[in-house]
A and B are shown apart, each in its own frame.
Chain A
Amino acid sequence: MQVQVDVPDARGRFGPFGGRFVPETLTFALDQLAQEYAKAKADPEFQKELEELLRHYVGRPSPLYHAQRLSRQLGGAQIWLKREDLNHTGAHKINNTLGQALLTVRMGKRRVIAETGAGQHGVATATACARFGLECVIYMGEEDMRRQRPNVFNMQLLGAEVRPVKSGSRTLRDAINEALRDWMSSVETTHYILGSVVGPHPFPMIVRDFQSVIGRETIRQCQEQLGRLPDVVVACVGGGSNAAGMFYPLIPHPQVRLIGVEAGGRGTAPGEHAAPLSFGSPGVLHGSYSYVMQDEDGQTCPVHSVSAGLDYPGVGPEHSYWKQTGRVHYTHCSDQEALEAFDLLARTEGILPALESAHALAQAAKLAPTLSPKEVIVVCLSGRGDKDAHEVARLRGQQW
């Protein structure tokens, strides 16, 4: 099946995936968002405002950095890092939240809600809301509040209210449920800044578009710094926003191998990982049709990852489409491999990666020795790891 870039269609479908499976109450707001986004996209003023914010507020373009000591140690392909960790707020999430905050203002809404897993999207949303003077409520699972404590304080310092979610597994999936329930009641005055390429149409498209700045810059920087495109590009996939933003501009360049890395957790048995593209099946979750970890009745299964940002049973519909078309290869790395990659990057390059991004690094570390030193792997270093220092110490049984 030939991969298309002119997706989704008017109904939000990427091939068979995507669409809109939500209560009727939300239709009005999703239509409103789709219309406003179409207008904004065609409005040079909007594009200019967003570009200026990305440049002077976020600090874009983020560098493309040749990790020479890491490459030498691994022995093989040259590893280059797309440094999304150097963005304001320490991850790629801000690319999307600023765009959606601008849309919120255009729609005349004053209140914003969002979900967060690792807290990076929560912090980026709280930041954008502070910047635009919007009221901000963040839903976060209690388990994630525990393991990503520094980000909880950061959100509060930025003026956001963090609401603990106690239902279900008390992680990202439940935070999305709770944010959607809030939106069911507040839809007329509130915008939901969804943080990944998941959810009902038009969210997967909007978030991908706002994140595509990552891939566009990478292409330009590769041409400037390498004189050519890379051989391989690797990104981690939870919901899949940094991977979608990195991959989308590269889809029409078939010579570039694209690899998405899911959370392999502790093993391949159900409940031990968070890798729906590797082990799941197509189904409906959080308003869209995509790969999901589900039981024989369609109930969502528990998942596990050491990384709160990847600890999610679903994945963006466009990733399902890229899997189906074969354009992107999806694989998984374990908790242990991610933790080892975390250490490796810290000690060879002096960079603490987010545990999410460490999954992509782990895959690159496996791949590099199998390639020649002339080949180039770009890894999307989607976020910084300061937020994880505490949890990494706890996992090692160290006091902090």
Chain B
Amino acid sequence: MSAVDEVFAALKRRGGRALVPFITAGDPDLEFTAQVLQVLDRSGASVIELGVPYSDPIADGPVIQSSYTRALQRGVKLAQILDLLRHIQPKLSAPVVLMVSYAIVYRRGLEEFVHQAQAAGAAGAIVPDLLIEESEPLRRICTQADFSLVQLVTPTTAADRALRIAQASMGFLYYVSVTGITGERDQLPQQLREQLGRLRQLSPVPVCVGFGISRPEQVRQLAPVADGVIVGSAIVRRVAQVQQRPAEEVLQEVGGFVKSLAEALQGS
């Protein structure tokens, strides 16, 4: 059982739901990322997604794209991100999973990547451009290492394929709420609740939903039909304000926002 499995097992025992916030590593620098990670942890995060900046992220909207660009312009490297994690992970109660492009994983070497990430304290990884057909070699290594390789299902995924993906997913299954890229949405698709309900029935692992979710009322709507809720751009946008505003103020706002999401999740 990886640390992610343990979190979901504990939540299941008390009928809870997971809050999974996302931030970009190194935006605007790794020192600030370390502070934000602790704030997320204190404010109710169950699992934290740490985004490894990538030069060509095609699944990401403008907010996460520009956070990646800022981090890369500062020259952030994978080794530095893993160093940060090694240093900060013992202070966190929530496990950290890396959101990382296959371009980066492949370049490092599949085995080296998993072992280095795990040694740094990561509990798993989400590789958004690694389809089920191509994921077998990495999955074998992750299974052996008990490192959760989270797979994704989207609204355009056919039912039989969704089942295969769910069966291969480790830790949890990531359901992408919209046909599109990351970023806040005023409205989530009408059929989302039904789709999630169906997916949860067939999935052997917990199902978390992400993409487009940015407000406590959306979290409240989705909590009854999901095992967890993932929030990215809405947090990254707030973190990015540190370029114009005092760090303390930004950390407080991020903490307050994540708390409001956690409360919405608990209260429903």
The reply to whether B103 and A283 form a contact with Cβ atoms under 8 Å apart is: yes
Interface residues of B (CB under 8 A from A): 54-61, 65, 69, 72, 77-78, 101-108, 128-131, 133-134, 152-158, 161, 165, 176, 178-181
Given contacts A177-B56, A180-B58, A294-B103, contact A20 B133 (CB under 8 A): yes
CB distance from A284 to the nearest CB of B (A): 4
Q: A residues 160-203 with Cβ under 8 Å of B?
A: 167-168, 173, 177, 180-181, 184-185, 187-188
Report A-chain residues with C-beta under 8 Å of the C-beta of B105: 298
Considering only CB atoms and an 8 Å cut-off, how many residues of chain A contact the other chain? 33
- With a cutoff of 8 Å between Cβ atoms, the chain B residues found around residue A167 in the complex are 65, 69
In the assembled complex, the CB of B156 is this many whole angstroms from the nearest CB of chain A, namely 4
Query: What 4 A-B pairs have minimum CB-CB distances, sorted nearest first?
Result: A298-B107, A185-B180, A28-B156, A284-B103
Seed contacts A23-B154, A297-B108; 15 additional CB < 8 Å A-B pairs: A11-B133, A11-B134, A22-B131, A24-B131, A27-B157, A168-B56, A168-B69, A181-B60, A181-B181, A184-B181, A185-B179, A188-B156, A284-B103, A298-B104, A299-B103
CB-CB under 8 A from A173, the residues of chain B are 56
What residues of B have a CB within 8 angstroms of the CB of A224 in the complex? Answer: none
Given A23-B152, A24-B152, A188-B179, A181 and B131 contact (CB-CB distance below 8 Å): no
| Docked-complex contact A187 and B179, CB < 8 angstroms | yes
A279 is an interface residue with CB less than 8 A from chain B: no
Interface of B is mostly: loop
Contact B56 A21 (CB under 8 A): no
On A, residues with C-beta under 8 Å from B are: 11, 19-25, 27-29, 167-168, 173, 177, 180-181, 184-185, 187-188, 283-287, 289, 294, 296-300
Q: Cβ of A285 and Cβ of B103 under 8 Å apart?
A: yes
* Complex interface: chain A residues within 8 A of B61 (CB): 181
CA distance A294 to B58 in the complex (A): 17
Residues on B with C-beta less than 8 A from A187 are 156, 179
In the complex, chain A residues whose CB is within 8 Å of the CB of B178: 185
B216 CB, min distance to chain A CBs, angstroms: 25
Q: List 12 A-B contacts (CB under 8 A).
A: A24-B131, A25-B59, A25-B156, A27-B157, A177-B56, A184-B58, A185-B179, A294-B103, A297-B77, A297-B78, A298-B105, A299-B103
